[in-house]
């Protein structure tokens, strides 16, 4: 089908497509560079932002944007307590408890929108903002559903706005160096990737609580539920932290952490669009309400250009790779795993990522891929790292602050490489991850074939209804 004429002739869209193709080829030059208009305006006026979700992680997202010289013009949160607290930091900001009202009222007064809400409202807020030509910073995972991730990616391309997902490890020099090392062939052809996490640290594997409690004064429960099916308020069950385990609102341990922990291998090996996923260990979605307390998934990736077919294993809830793999890791880390297996009572589950190649392995004990080991050590005594090909961020600060610097500087038109975790990359990463949650809806051992182009499973049709969702009431994309 022919593209609309305005998409064919848009310089920002052409730049986006060209640079996205370069990223797919394994070379980074930056994508989704800010429009010329945004850059010109920022030279005369400080950028302004409206922040959606300002409790928890949203509090630091808002503050870090402000630290970069952005004027915080609007604050939105369903909880009046969060608005009151953040309002002390930004007393001149207008306050709202529904992002739709905030965007309608402040639409022509802001350049940036941050979205730091539970997963199920990411797309509703971010797509609305992008269509208003606002630059968008959105927390991970990018979306609640696969279909929303595709739409976010397409909308970013169509509008040409600057975008960034909040997987801050992307802005760590160590992660970018690890990607270069893998791409250089240091450990040979990578055929296996194993990633495990200490999540969940919230309740999963349980059914919906009976009854309901009075909605607290100052909580907009209607707006918190948003596009999801309405349900009664129950104290401590969903708001403000335990929502991650509920299928209507969160994406479980996989959605919470995989945008961090798989980021480095996904980027290095172009691990998107799996052809199949199997839930190797799968207690299943409990009563259709919550993700299982633990799971082990196997993703299958075919030959990708010169990259070998790759098996990717994901473990959560205390599940671990087998001892044969763990025994190849540093001794200090093996002791931590042994303590976990032995149940030492401290409850300290480990996290890690291992890439298995034909010449060695790379191990990262860091959730953000910023630290890594090449093993066995004796094989890499004289190893020289490749020359950098990915940009390094010229800003000193914590990883989260560096991530915001990259985003804001790109919005200002002052950082030519652009944001690395833009929605083109982040959308593909999120799509890949969320296919794993489809596997949890099938039986243990059920291999789900996946056609990424059509976003459907050709052999297990029952999971296709979870690729998208019907939005409730007047909540819409």
* Whole-angstrom distance, CA of residue 353 vs CA of residue 458: 30
Confidence at 3, pLDDT banded by 50, 70, 90 = very low
pLDDT at 126 over 80: yes
149: three-class secondary structure by DSSP: helix
pLDDT at 29 over 70: no
* CATH class label, 5-168+398-423: alpha beta
Q: Where are the domains of the chain?
A: 5-168+398-423, 173-205+234-389+429-466
Report CA dihedral (239, 401, 333, 270) to the nearest 10 degrees.
Answer: 90
Quick one: pLDDT at residue 446? 97
**Residue 152 or residue 25, greater confidence:** 152
Confidence at 171, pLDDT banded by 50, 70, 90 = very high
Question: What whole-number percentage of the chain has pLDDT above 70?
Answer: 90
Provide the pairing of β-strand 295-301 with 276-281: antiparallel
| Residue 181 · residue 296 · CB < 8 Å | no
| Residue 336 · residue 161 · CB < 8 Å | no
Consecutive H or E run containing 374: strand 373-375
Q: Stretch 301-320: mean pLDDT, rounded? A: 97
Residue where the block lists tokens 């940009």: 391
**Tens of pLDDT, residues 381-426:** 999 999 999 999 999 999 999 999 999 999 999 999 999 999 999 9
pLDDT at 46 over 70: yes
Mean of all residue pLDDT scores within the chain:
91
* Whole-angstrom distance, CA of residue 308 vs CA of residue 357: 10
* Whole-angstrom distance, CA of residue 126 vs CA of residue 136: 7
DSSP E strands: which ranges in 330-453?
Answer: 352-357, 361-364, 373-375, 447-449
φ and ψ at 53, to 5 degrees?
Answer: 85, 105
Quick one: pLDDT at residue 2? 36
Q: Stretch 37-44: mean pLDDT, rounded? A: 41
311 beta partners: 192, 300
Q: Stretch 252-276: mean pLDDT, rounded? A: 97
Provide the pairing of β-strand 190-196 with 276-281: unpaired
112: three-class secondary structure by DSSP: strand
**Residue 410 or residue 6, greater confidence:** 410
Quick one: pLDDT at residue 45? 59
Burial class (CB in 10 A: 0-12, 13-18, 19+), 325: middle
Taking the CB of residue 263, how many other CB atoms lie within 10 A of it?
Answer: 29
**Tens of pLDDT, residues 175-213:** 999 999 999 999 999 999 999 999 999 999 999 999 999
304: three-class secondary structure by DSSP: strand
Quick one: pLDDT at residue 343? 82
pLDDT at 40 over 50: no
| Residue 420 · residue 403 · CB < 8 Å | no
Quick one: pLDDT at residue 443? 87
| Residue 58 · residue 78 · CB < 8 Å | no
Burial class (CB in 10 A: 0-12, 13-18, 19+), 300: middle
246 beta partners: 290
**Cβ contacts of 45 within 8 Å, gap of 6 or more:** none
Confidence at 9, pLDDT banded by 50, 70, 90 = very low
229 beta partners: none
pLDDT at 344 over 90: no
pLDDT at 6 over 80: no
Q: Stretch 125-140: mean pLDDT, rounded? A: 98
Same topology, domains 5-168+398-423 and 173-205+234-389+429-466? Answer is no
Which CATH number is correct for 173-205+234-389+429-466, 3.20.20.70, 3.40.50.970, 3.30.360.10, 3.40.50.300? 3.30.360.10
What is the pTM assigned to this prediction?
A: 0.91
**Tens of pLDDT, residues 92-116:** 999 999 999 999 999 999 999 999 9
């Amino acid at each position: 089908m022919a593209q609309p004429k305005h998409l064919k002739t848009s310089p920002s869209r052409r730049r986006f497509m060209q640079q996205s193709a370069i990223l797919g080829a394994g070379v980074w030059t930056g994508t989704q560079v800010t429009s010329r208009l945004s850059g010109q305006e920022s030279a005369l006026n400080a950028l302004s932002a409206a922040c959606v979700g300002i409790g928890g992680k949203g509090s630091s997202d808002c503050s870090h944007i402000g630290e970069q010289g952005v004027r915080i013009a609007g604050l939105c949160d369903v909880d009046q307590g969060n608005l009151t607290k953040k309002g002390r930091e930004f007393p001149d900001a207008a306050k709202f408890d529904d992002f739709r009202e905030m965007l309608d009222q402040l639409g022509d007064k802001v350049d940036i929108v941050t979205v730091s809400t539970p997963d199920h409202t990411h797309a509703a807020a971010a797509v609305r903002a992008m269509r208003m030509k606002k630059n968008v910073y959105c927390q991970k995972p990018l979306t609640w559903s696969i279909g929303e991730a595709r739409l976010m990616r397409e909308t970013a391309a169509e509008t040409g706005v600057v975008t960034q997902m909040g997987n801050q490890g992307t802005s760590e020099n160590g992660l970018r160096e690890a990607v270069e090392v893998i791409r250089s062939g240091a450990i040979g052809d990578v055929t296996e990737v194993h990633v495990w996490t200490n999540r969940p640290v919230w309740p999963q594997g349980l059914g919906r609580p009976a009854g309901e409690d009075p909605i607290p004064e100052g909580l907009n429960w209607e707006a918190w539920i948003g596009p999801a099916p309405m349900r009664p308020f129950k104290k401590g069950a969903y708001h403000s932290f335990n929502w991650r385990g509920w299928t209507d609102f969160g994406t479980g341990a996989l959605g919470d952490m995989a945008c961090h922990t798989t980021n480095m291998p996904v980027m290095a090996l172009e691990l998107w669009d799996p052809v199949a996923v199997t839930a190797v260990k799968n207690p299943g979605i409990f009563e259709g309400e919550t993700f299982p307390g633990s799971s082990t998934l196997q993703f299958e990736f075919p030959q990708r250009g010169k990259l070998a077919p790759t098996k990717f294993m994901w473990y959560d809830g205390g599940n671990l790779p087998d001892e044969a793999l763990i025994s190849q890791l540093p001794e200090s880390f093996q002791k931590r795993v042994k303590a976990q297996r032995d149940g030492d009572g401290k409850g300290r589950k480990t996290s890690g990522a291992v890439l298995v190649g034909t010449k060695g392995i790379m191990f990262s004990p860091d959730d953000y891929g910023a630290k890594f080991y090449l093993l066995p050590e004796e094989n890499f005594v004289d190893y020289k790292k490749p020359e950098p090909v990915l940009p390094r961020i010229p800003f000193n600060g914590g990883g989260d602050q560096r991530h915001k610097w990259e985003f804001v500087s790109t919005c200002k038109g002052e950082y030519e490489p652009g944001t690395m975790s833009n929605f083109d990359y982040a959308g593909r990463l999120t799509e890949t991850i969320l296919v794993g949650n489809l596997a949890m809806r099938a039986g243990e051992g059920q291999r789900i074939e996946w056609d990424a182009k059509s976003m459907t499973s050709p052999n297990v049709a029952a999971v296709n209804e979870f690729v998208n969702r019907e939005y409730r009431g007047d909540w819409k994309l």
